[in-house]
Amino acid sequence: MELPFAESFRIKMVEPIKKSTKEDRLQWIKEARYNLFNLKSEQVFVDMLTDSGTGAK
């Protein structure tokens, strides 16, 4: 019996994105005392600072 091809995983996730202004982002960074690790995840649109999952193979 031949089994059908199945993907090993598939991630489907849809989240609403809140657009922020430059002024909002500057204020959040000041409130985080210029430590980007102190930002809340809702305040980050693209994370190019941390290594979240980039080493997974």
pLDDT of residue 5: 75
pLDDT of residue 18: 83
pLDDT of residue 21: 94
pLDDT of residue 56: 52
| Residue 48: other Cβ atoms inside 10 A | 6
CA pair distance 4, 23, nearest whole angstrom: 52
CA pair distance 57, 32, nearest whole angstrom: 33
Q: What is the pLDDT along the chain (57 residues), one digit of tens a residue?
A: 787 777 777 778 887 888 899 999 999 999 999 998 899 988 988 877 777 655 555
- How distant, in Å, are the alpha carbons of 5, 31, 37 from that of 15? 29, 25, 22
Reference 42, options 32, 54, 34; nearest CA is: 32
pLDDT of residue 24: 96
